[in-house]
Amino acid sequence: MKTIAIIQARMGSTRLPGKSLLPIGGKPLIWHVAKRTAMGKAVDSVILATTTDKSDDGIADFARKEGIESFRGNTEDVLDRFYNAAKKAGAGKADVVVRITGDSPLVDPALIDKAVGMLVKGKLDYVSNSRQPWMDGFDVEAFTFAALERAWIEAKMASEREHVTPYIRESGKFKVEFMENDPALDGVQCSVDRQEDLEFVREIIRRMAADGKGEEFSYMDVIALLKREPRLRDINRQSVVNEGYFKSLKEDRRIK
C-alpha cells in the first residue's frame, strides 16, 4: 500500500487569476503547497493535477523545473482529472489517495498523516476534516483509490464532478469519518481565493519565517500567531469560506 498526494491547481481562477504562481515569501504559492504536502510522513509521492488549457502551461512548467510529477486533464470534470492523475501515479485499489487543493499554502503535513492513519486503521473509505468547525486552508481528504474509482464511474451531478469528493462523502455508499477540527480557526480564511487572502497568507508565512520556523509550522502555530496579533484577521475578514463549492451547488445540474 502506498499513499499518493494529488494537488489540484489551475491558473484560471475567476477571483484571482494566475494565483498558483503568485509569489509568497519569494516562492510561487504552489511551491508552498507542494513542499508542505511532501513533508507528510505518510506521503510516498506527490503529483500536480492541472488542466490541458493553455493557461495552465505555467503550472506544468513549474512542476517540470521542480522535478514534481504532473498530469494534465479535463478542464471541467475535476473528478475525471483527479482519477486519471491517480492512475498516472500508479495507484492501485488498495492504495490511499490524498486530495490537497492548490490554494492551500498553509496545509499542515501532520493533518495529512492523521487522516491517512485514521483511514488505514479504521479500514475506512474516506476521512477528512471538511466539516464544521471549518479549518479552511488546512483541508485534507484521504480516501482509497477504490472509492475514487467508484465515484468516477457513478457520480452524475456537476457538483460531484467539479469538486471530486461530494459523491464519496454524501452518497451513503462509503464508510466515512471526519477528524476533529479546532474551533479557533472556524471562519478564518487561510486558503487563497482573493487578493486579500493572498496578503493574509503572505503575512502568516512572513511571520513564521521571522520566528525561524521556515516551513516547519503547524496549524497550532497559526492559531497562536492570530491570538497574539488578532488584527491580522482584518486583512481578509470579508472573504467567504468555500465559496466555489456553494456556487456549484446553486448551479447544479445532471450531466451525461
pLDDT digits (tens, 9 = 90+) for 24-73: 999 999 999 999 999 999 999 999 999 999 999 999 999 999 999 999 99
CA distances for 79 relative to 15, 26, 114, angstroms:
22, 32, 24
* Cell numbers for 85: 492523475
User: Do the domain assignments include residue 56?
Assistant: yes
Q: For residue 213, is it within any domain?
A: no
Contact status, residue 10 vs residue 101, Cβ threshold 8 Å: no
Q: Point out which residues pair with 176 in neighbouring strands.
A: 126
- pLDDT at position 14 is 84
pLDDT for 245 beyond 90: no
Helix (H) or strand (E) holding 198: helix 195-210
Name the 3-class secondary structure at 77: coil
What is the Cα–Cα distance from 42 to 197, expressed in whole angstroms? 29
Count of structural domains, the chain: 1
- In the chain, % of residues over pLDDT 70: 93
- In this prediction, residue 154 carries a pLDDT of 97
- The answer on pLDDT for 249 being more than 60 is no
Q: What is the chain's mean pLDDT, rounded?
A: 93
Residue 150 sits in a domain of what CATH number?
3.90.550.10
Q: Supply the pLDDT for residue 239.
A: 76
Domain extent for 24: 3-182
Q: What CA–CA distance (Å, rounded) separates 113 from 77?
A: 28
d(CA 222, CA 159): 31
Cell of 65: 523545473
The C-alpha cell 502555530 sits at: 221
Tell me, yes or no, whether 129 lies in a domain: yes
Distance CA 115, CA 88 (A): 23
200 in a structural domain: no
- What phi and psi values does residue 139 have, to the nearest 5 degrees? -65, 130
**Residue 246 in this model has a pLDDT that exceeds 50:** no
Count Cβ atoms below 10 Å from residue 176 Cβ, excluding itself. Answer: 18
Tell me what the mean pLDDT of segment 184-212 comes to.
96
Question: What distance in Å separates the CA atoms of residue 187 and residue 134, rounded to the nearest whole number?
Answer: 7
On whether residue 216 sits in a domain, the answer given is no
What digits encode the pLDDT tens for the residues 93-150?
Answer: 899 999 999 999 999 999 999 999 999 999 999 999 988 898 999 999 999 999 999 9
Q: How confident is the model at residue 86 (pLDDT cuts 50, 70, 90)?
A: very high
The pLDDT, as a whole number, for residue 13 is 80
Is pLDDT above 90 for 205?
yes
Give me the sign of the Cα torsion angle 133, 134, 138, 143.
positive
Sequence-distant (6+) residues with CB within 8 A of 153 are none
| Mean pLDDT across 224-244 | 84
20 lies in some domain: yes
What H or E segment, with its residue span, contains residue 50? strand 45-51
- Compute the C-alpha angle 248/50/96, nearest 5°: 85
Identify the band that residue 12 occupies on the pLDDT scale cut at 50, 70 and 90. Answer: confident
Amino acid 238: pLDDT: 82
pTM of the model: 0.91
* Residue 135 belongs to some domain of the structure: yes
Q: 169 in a domain, yes or no? A: yes
Residue 118 is predicted with a pLDDT of: 98
Separation of alpha carbons 138 and 158, rounded Å: 25
Number of H helices, E strands in the chain: 10, 9
